[in-house]
Amino acid sequence: MPSRFFPPVNRSGRKGLVAIGGHLTTEWLLDAYRHGIFPWPSEPDEPMLWWSPDPRGIMPLDGLYVSRRLARRLRSGEFTFTLNAAFGDVIRACGIGPGREGGTWLTPEMIAAYSELHRLGHAHSVEVWREGELAGGVYGVAIGGFFAAESMFHRQRDASKAALARLVEHLNSRGYKLLDVQLWTPHTGTLGVVEIPRREYLQRLQEAVSLPVTFAD
């Protein structure tokens, strides 16, 4: 089904810019994600930019690389995990302060928009705790069997990687089929992220969003 708000992504420019402007409402955001589009502003106070890059970065749900050190820490039990217990703390930590990973684009308006998505049950977080303190986390948007991981952070070594590992484990247990990370980078590549053509991504996206899958009961 065509988007209500955006042109077809195959009309986007070389870097995947689909549209400029629009609104950060739940309706616009969910429509964007259903059609392979995500918001990413260029500068604060500038019009919103909406993107659909080609190729697209995804994390295969059977392809996460866990180092020996991280595996030992996960087995040790020093980290504990929760789901949706501190969404606000996670998204704010992704936007400000040390340890954020790809979160500098999180303007106050975007934090408010994703917090509203969370309130309505469309955005979720994984929290990592150590000795009662929030050590790291990841958040993203879920539609059917599709999850778009938006940003993660760490305050202690390996905590963001632990959050990603717990997210992948949870998505597999719930029957998810597609974990989107938007862009491949040398860092995400070391974790197992790969690139696929946008056409293939869109096909997999439409299959995933139609699944009767939920992040939580």
Chunk the chain into consecutive blocks of 10 residues (it has 217) and report each block's average pLDDT, rounded to whole numbers. Answer: 94 89 97 97 84 97 95 95 98 75 74 97 98 97 98 95 97 98 93 97 98 93
Q: Return the SS3 of 23.
A: coil
Tell me the two tokens of residue 115: 């917090």
Query: So what's the pLDDT on residue 105?
Result: 72
Given this model, what pLDDT does residue 117 score? 98
Burial of 6 (0-12, 13-18, 19+ CB in 10 A): buried
The candidate with the shortest Cα–Cα distance to 162, out of 142, 186, 134, 141, is 134
N-to-C CA span, the chain: 28
Contact status, residue 45 vs residue 109, Cβ threshold 8 Å: no
Give dist(CA 182, CA 149) in Å, integer. 8
Q: What single-letter amino acid sits at 79?
A: F
Joined together, the tokens standing for residue 215 give 């992040």
**Residue 48 has what DSSP assignment?**
P
Query: What is the DSSP secondary structure assignment for residue 125, as one 8-state letter?
Result: E
- pLDDT value, residue 104: 57
Residue 102's pLDDT is 56
**Over the Cα atoms of the chain, what is R_g?**
16
Nearest to 133 by CA among 93, 100, 173: 93
Q: Are 145 and 211 in contact (CB under 8 A)?
A: yes
pLDDT score, position 46: 82
Of the candidates 41, 211, 77, the residue with the CA atom closest to the CA atom of residue 142: 211
In order of their start, the domains of the chain are: 9-51 (3.30.70.3550), 56-209 (3.40.630.70)
C-alpha separations of 79 from 16, 97, 101 in Å = 38, 21, 19
**Residue 174, SS3?**
helix
